Amino acid sequence: MIQRIQTVFLLLTVIVTGLLFYMPVITLNMPGATPEQTDIFQFYTTKYIQAGTPPVFIEFNWFSMVLNILITGLAFLSIFLYKKRFLQLRLCLVNIILMLGIIILVSVQAYNITKPDGEWHLNLAFAFPIIGIILTWLALRGIVKDIALLKSYDRIR
């Protein structure tokens, strides 16, 4: 299991998507707000913070949180399906599509929150789904190579 390169890529995908629960993805600046008044969008909450006070309003983002749990869970499950390569291949494809969906979802939510005059800045964690897509695609290539290798062994027999 660990000797396959796709296992390493899938494990890195699990780590990267798991970090999304702890890091802010987008910082929102509303018009007329001071630099101390920022809005932090994470995958599970949107916190509206003012200087020196606890968060004024916290909005729970169920859909993005469930989607991130699903992405992390599928990548983790794919690690242990190394004997069922075609299922592993399909789960990786579904995972890539879900990661594209979460990128679009976060962008749309940030745009809707800041709609008329606000501006938003991407944090480092916004790149994590993109890194996850690349890592899952690399794992996908490893799975395809394993399938081709096993088919070539079947032809030799």
- Dump pLDDT digits (tens) for 107-156: 887 777 766 666 777 788 889 999 999 999 999 999 999 889 888 887 76
Pick the closest to residue 26 from 105, 118, 121 (CA basis).
Answer: 121
Domain ranges in the chain are 5-147
Report the pLDDT value the prediction gives residue 88, as an integer from 0 to 100. Answer: 93
Report the pLDDT value the prediction gives residue 11, as an integer from 0 to 100. Answer: 95
Pick the closest to residue 16 from 139, 141, 109 (CA basis).
Answer: 139
Higher pLDDT, 25 or 42: 25
Full-model pTM: 0.81
The yes/no answer on whether domain 5-147 falls in CATH 1.20.140.150 is yes
Report the pLDDT value the prediction gives residue 92, as an integer from 0 to 100. Answer: 95
Q: How far, in Å, CA of 66 to CA of 63, rounded?
A: 5
Distance, first Cα to last Cα, the chain = 25
Question: Hunting for tokens 């899938």 — which residue is that?
Answer: 10
Q: Centre a 10 Å sphere on the Cβ of residue 44 and count the other Cβ atoms it contains.
A: 18
Question: Hunting for tokens 């290798």 — which residue is that?
Answer: 149
- Is residue 53 classed as helix, strand or coil in its secondary structure? coil
